[in-house]
Chains A and B, each alone.
Chain A
Amino acid sequence: MLSLSNVHKRFRGVHATNGISFEVRSGEIVGLLGPNGAGKTTTLRCVCGILRHDEGSIHIDGLDVVTQEVEAKRLMAYIPEIPNPYEVLTVREHIKFVAMCYGTVDTFNARIDELLSRFELKEKEHELVATLSKGMKQKLAIACAFVHDARVFLCDEPMIGLDPQGQHELQSELLRLRSEGCAILVSTHLLDTAEKLCDRVVIMQKGRKLSEGTLKELQAHARMDNSSLMDVFLHLTREAEA
């Protein structure tokens, strides 16, 4: 569903992503892990079209994100790390606006009440976004990702700022999407969550892919049977650093 092949992105000669390749298949949640500055956000931004990669290719359901940009974007939903919603729109108007952008107002009409309830935005639907707390803005950004029928979900640190209820709701939602055959790529620093939620993880460091696989495969790679994802992650990144 989502494939990256030898993706390079340089900023003034510095490799933010250096030949990254991996796939996220339908019905799969893949975690993108790495220390700060590893290139996770750059990778996600290249996939969703915010940044243009310098080399390599990215395909969404066979569509090239450079040459078939608009068609590919229709299949994607992106949840940014720091959402910057439009403060002067109300919560309901904001979600409607995103639906209008994707040409899915009918979907919006059918889903809006359920979405508002699910993300605890019902009471705030006619309030201006400016009055929402940081966590509520995050919930709004997540709700906006569900107003069109995306097949690939890109989530950049989606749990940050969410209360436990919100985190639980989002995890349930991602699991539901997986069961419906969506491909989900989640960048996160929360390794416990990644261990529970993700089918596979990709570990990045300094723009390169260090390792990829299920927890068992990573344990085998690190020769650390029965260790937690945290221990494996620390071992692999320290080893690469050394």
Chain B
Amino acid sequence: MKPFWVLNAWILKNSLRRGLRNPLRGILVVVVLMFLLGYLVGVPLATIFGSSDQPAPPLPAAGIRGFLFILILFHVALLSLPASAMIGKNAVVRESDVNFLFPSPIPRVQLFRTIILFRATISSIVSFMAVIFYSLLFGTKYVRAIPEFSLVLPPWFSVLYPVTFFCAAFGLAFAGTVTGANIVRGKWSKRPFIHGTTGLAAISLVLLVHHGLESLQSGESFFGGILAGLNHPVLYVILFPLRSMAEIALIAFMGWTPSVVGGLIFWPLFLALSYFVLVKNQEWLYDLGVHIAQRRTAAREQLGNPAEVIKRWVQKGVAKGSFRPRQVWLAEHWTPQGVWALLWRNHLIYWRLNRSTIMILDVIVLLSLFVLWYVHSVLGIEIQERLIVGILIGVQAIFVALTLGNGFITSMDIVKRMDMQKPFPFSPRLVIFVEVLHLVGIYALSTLLLVAATLLTFPDFAQVLTIAYLVGVSCLFPASLSILFLLFINPDMSDPVQRIIVGLLQLPVIALSVMPGLIPAALGVLLKLPLFVSGLSAIVANIVWTFILIELISRKYRHFNPAE
């Protein structure tokens, strides 16, 4: 299997080399590496050797059982990854494996075992590290509290956890492969697995919530009830695989519990059995490989090429008769010329694809406002300000997420259709401005209805709401531009390094891009300036920052090479 290891090493090496060759992308690669290294090394060190003069953190109220519950939830995510090693964009077999490795004389089981061991291990380790990373990042206080629990066994017993974890991960990957192979050959049906998993999840949820509510009724905490519910016999059986992993992770504090002993027997046996069944089913492995490689390619294409997603979606809709090129009133009656034609095109495409989503969201918001108004004005019940603000913030967050998600798709589309769009007689600055104007316009118009309705229903909030609306709209310009900038530097989503950069830096870059606008607003609040002054300074800062970003991005656009 040497060629396989060499192949993967080359892919990673070439992707990194490609990343470092482009100066801007190289900086981002270094930033990402430093970010990861800094946290993966720095945070644990800070956690362990944190300043000793700081008081020891208080023990979490839920005690070790709280950790146990959180670890069970973690393992749902961690173990579903290897189990789904043969599904969707994360599937471990690729088209290139089918074309080049399958015809080679490497025995099937050996090939599949290596593919699973390598790729499923990598993804499991990455997920595992991500969990540790985020636990340390956001829960340092609680992680530092762990040593406060009394040790039942020497700490080195914890080494049993990674060993069991990889038994579980490989066992599930092999079992997932066997299941997939039998589904592809038509021997098994997918339905019982889906229904079984959903049913077990539903039973667990109902039982846990039931225990939580019972606890509330008896005057205790909801979470305490849920923790107590973990010992319910049915839940114990259903959650045993996950619970055993969680308890093994905490073995030094929990000792030799039945779950620990059971898990240490169960998972190695499961691994051996699933491998045995994999060997028995080896003749079907290539059929499965071909099937999942095709599905993976489709999923990957969708990930990196929104145009492809839209095309497939429309083709499917047209074939079923559910998608028709319906007319859009504004596009019918408005025929702008020049660069504004881009706005016309975006408007037409957007309304054909997303009209129902936006309308449903607006209707939900208006209905909730109507209910609030009815409760407040007709029934005379006092409505807390927090409730209205909460609803508005929630809805705005959904709209912002939708807009930025749409911004990602629009930006990818600009990158993919460069050959089509760039020969048009427009200056790059205007093109960038109009593309972003479309995104912000959608947000501004969609939320205008909401803002207007809230103003009419609760006029006391008029000033705050109007200023917040305008600041929000102005912030979306730099936020949308930042996505475009990131994608111009990393346009190829099939390149692993570029994908990691975009995935990891997307949120920090958006957050950074809105800072110039938010700093004056925050200063205004600190200096207790009138709200109007703070809001206006934020809007002005955003406008200036937007023009600077447009200038920078239009330069990237001008020199962008579609062959990248």
Contact = CB atoms under 8 A, between A and B. Distances in A.
B335 A100 contact: yes
Interface residues of A, number: 39
B353 A97 contact: no
Interface string A66-101: 000111011011101011111111100100110011
A205 B417 CA distance: 27
Contacts of A87: 307, 310-311, 314
A85 B353 CA distance: 16
B424 A102 contact: yes
Contacts of B118: none
Contacts of B310: 87-88, 130
Nearest to A78: B423
Contact of A89 (B337, B349, B417, B426): B349
Nearest to A75: B425
A96 B335 CA distance: 9
Contacts of B426: 70, 101
Interface string B289-312: 000000000000000000100110
Contacts of A131: 314-315, 318
Interface string A84-125: 111111100100110011110100000000000000000000
Contacts of B561: 11, 51
Interface residues of B, number: 39
Contacts of B307: 84, 87
A96 B318 CA distance: 22
Contacts of B311: 87, 130
A126 interface: yes
B338 A69 contact: no
B458 to A, nearest CB: 39
Interface string A209-237: 00000000000000000000000000000
B325 A128 contact: yes
Nearest to B350: A88
A163 B419 CA distance: 23
B109 interface: no
A112 B336 CA distance: 18
A12 interface: yes
Contact of A102 (B417, B425, B427, B558): B425
Contacts of A12: 21
A19 interface: no
A152 B408 CA distance: 35
Nearest to A50: B422
Given A73-B424, A84-B416, 19 more contacts: A50-B422, A50-B423, A73-B423, A76-B423, A78-B419, A78-B423, A80-B419, A80-B420, A82-B419, A87-B310, A87-B314, A88-B310, A88-B325, A93-B325, A100-B338, A101-B338, A101-B342, A102-B424, A128-B323
Interface of B: 21, 307, 310-311, 314-315, 318, 323, 325, 331, 335-339, 341-342, 344-345, 348-349, 352-353, 416-420, 422-427, 558-559, 561-563
27 contacts: A12-B21, A49-B422, A49-B423, A51-B561, A69-B425, A78-B419, A80-B420, A82-B419, A83-B420, A84-B419, A86-B349, A86-B420, A88-B353, A89-B345, A90-B325, A93-B325, A97-B341, A100-B338, A100-B341, A100-B344, A101-B338, A101-B341, A101-B424, A101-B425, A105-B335, A130-B311, A131-B315
